[in-house]
Amino acid sequence: MRVFLLNLLLAISWSALTGNATLTNFCFGFLIGYLALRVSPSLPGGSKYFYRLPRFAHLAFFFIQELILSSLRAAYEVFSPKLKSRPMVVRIPLKITDRNQIFILTNLISLTPGTMVLEITKDHSELLVHTMFVDDPEAFREEIHQGFEKRVREAFS
Amino acid sequence: MVVFDEVFIAALILVGSTFGFSAALGLLRMPDFYTRMSTSGKAATLCCGLLLAGVATLFHDTQVTARAVAAILFLLLTVPVGVHMIARAAYRVGTPMWRGTSARPRFKNPKRDLR
């Protein structure tokens, strides 16, 4: 976290020094700051941060891809003359236990169209997910475990 | 270059409004509460995101870009929480759920049918 703030500070000073406060320039400054911190020796908690940031970017890209794909599928369902979806409620056992990670995971699932989280059991061990385009509950469970849950765990632990 | 920019912005706004239209149509067409929520709530996020991105590229101005980015971030933070809370309330009071493709609309209690 401290290294992230340091990186943010470097990006802000890059924007200030180049006198150009656009988003592209800020991102460029952030990238340069990341590389500069990367080569500097012995930062407190540094190695964890350098390991995490690419994973985090990967999660963000994966999420945007999922969002667009499932939005297209939902829009296709809405525009097609006959409704083909088979809604069902699927029970998903969770492997992650940290409450913040569960929060991120449920938000990601709720944001993709066609799936939404109905309930989290009291002991935080299972999610009940309402889905529209799933034929096989087992395959859907596997998809969530291999996709979102694995990436959330990698990005935040 | 200018032509490319204009085409890009037009495409962003057009695709965004198509998703908005599909959300509105989903609200009318879908048979039960949960599917209406799924098709309208989330397509609206993508719609607003694309429209804001289009506006930000069109104006190409720091203030507008900063506000668009902030608006998209807050949408991504608040929409899923709202969707989850409303869906959970509906689930707890046992709002009937559509049974799937069939000629007649048939409904079931979501609590009795977990997979």
| Residue A91 DSSP SS3 | strand
Q: How far is CA A14 from CA A35, A53, B64, in A?
A: 13, 20, 21
C-alpha B111: how far from chain center = 25
Pair A84, A140 in one domain: yes
Pair A133, A61 in one domain: yes
| Length of chain A counted residue by residue | 157
Q: Does A90 touch chain B (CB under 8 A)?
A: yes
ipTM exceeding cut-off 0.90 for this assembly? no
Domain span at residue A86 reads 51-156
pLDDT, tens digit, for every residue of A33-73? 888 888 877 776 667 777 778 888 888 888 888 888 888 88
d(C-alpha B97, C-alpha B31), whole Å: 9
Domain span at residue B7 reads 2-112
Number of compact structural domains in chain B: 1
Task: Go through A67-85 and write b for each residue having 16 or more CB atoms within 10 A of its CB, e for each that does not.
Answer: bbebbebbbebbeeeebeb
Asked if residue A117 lies in contact with residue A107, where contact means CB atoms within 8 angstroms, the answer is no
| Contacts with A, B 33-72, CB within 8 Å | 34-35, 37-39, 41-43, 45-46, 62, 65-66, 69
Asked if residue B114 lies in contact with residue A128, where contact means CB atoms within 8 angstroms, the answer is yes
Pair A40, A93 in one domain: no
Where is the domain boundary, A14, A29, A44?
Answer: A44
pTM greater than 0.80: no
Number of compact structural domains in chain A: 2
Name the band, by pLDDT with cuts 50, 70 and 90, for residue B103.
Answer: very low
Pair A137, A69 in one domain: yes
Pair A91, A138 in one domain: yes
Pair A26, A60 in one domain: no
C-beta atoms surrounding A32 within 10 Å? 14
pLDDT, tens digit, for every residue of B38-93? 888 778 888 888 999 999 888 888 788 888 888 988 888 888 888 888 888 888 88
Q: Does A72 touch chain B (CB under 8 A)?
A: no
